[in-house]
Structure 1
Amino acid sequence: MPPAGGFERVKYKRNLPLRGPSGVVILAGVLGVCGYGFYRVGKGNLEKRELGREKAWSRIYLVPLLLAEGDRDTYRREQAAVAREKDIMAGVPGWEAGKKVYHKEGLRGPSRIVVL
């Protein structure tokens, strides 16, 4: 016969402990981190745009200086080339350093042939 008071209840229910935060808490955390990340990306884009604008204006302001520097360099190189030509061609009678060696006008000069 059964014992007095009956048999004890059958334990069929799973008794699992709570492990970690709930799904809502995780979702809120992910949305918070993503929101902060998008905020930082937006601020970084504004900063990058401003730096690009500053770089463009600095280049615009430096163009005349760079052109003048290039012109000075070209003039210096041309003068050095004429000086080298004088040294090399010193023994040739009638040679003028720095002068064109072709005496004829090309097709772009006055002797252009016009065909109608």
Structure 2
Amino acid sequence: MSGSGFHGFKQDMPPPGGYEAIKYKRNLPVRGVGGAVVFSTVAAICAFGFWRVGAGNVEKRELKREQAWSRINLVPLLLAEQDRDAYRRQQAALAREKEIMKDYPGWEAGKSTYNSSRYTPNTIVVL
């Protein structure tokens, strides 16, 4: 052996053009839509929902107003019907009293049992 060196060995060198770059970054695929799209979609849905709730409240308030006015306008009719019914019942009670008490002399049918000129409605209703 000659003592001058390592002539029989070849040094390991990089390939021509160099090695390719080391991939150290994460390469994750994009999954789904971005956060701005999700946020804007949720905001749009919430805005639509609040709009519908507001419209429903306006409609409910209008229906309550209409119902109140319809009841106010029906009060005279209901009172008139109640008066007609009370008059009919009073006349029927007077006719029954005349029929029942016809054999008692001096009985005045329909005369008030109270010693007052003040009107006192009947408290007993015969059906």
TM above 0.5:
yes
Pairs within 5 Å for 1:20-99: 20-99=32-111
Task: Tell me, in whole angstroms, the C-alpha distance in 2 between the residues paired with 1:20 and 1:89.
Answer: 95
Q: What do residues 48-81 of structure 1 show as CA deviations (whole Å, max 9, x unaligned)?
A: 2222222222222222222111111111111111
| Number of residue pairs aligned between Structure 1 and Structure 2 | 103
Larger fraction in helix: 1
Asked which structure has the greater RCO (Cα within 8 Å, sep 6+), the reply is: 2
Q: Report SS of the residue matched to 1:93.
A: coil
Q: What do residues 80-100 of structure 1 show as CA deviations (whole Å, max 9, x unaligned)?
A: 111122222222222222112
TM-score (ref. length: structure 2) = 0.61
Unaligned runs of 5+ in 1: 109-116
Between Structure 1 and Structure 2, whose CA radius of gyration is higher?
2
Structure 2 counterpart of 1:67, which letter? L
TM-score (ref. length: structure 1) = 0.66
| C-alpha RMSD of the superposition | 3.0
Unaligned runs of 5+ in 2: 1-11, 16-20, 119-127
Structure 2 counterpart of 1:57, which letter? W
Q: Which moved more, 1:64-73 or 1:15-24?
A: 15-24
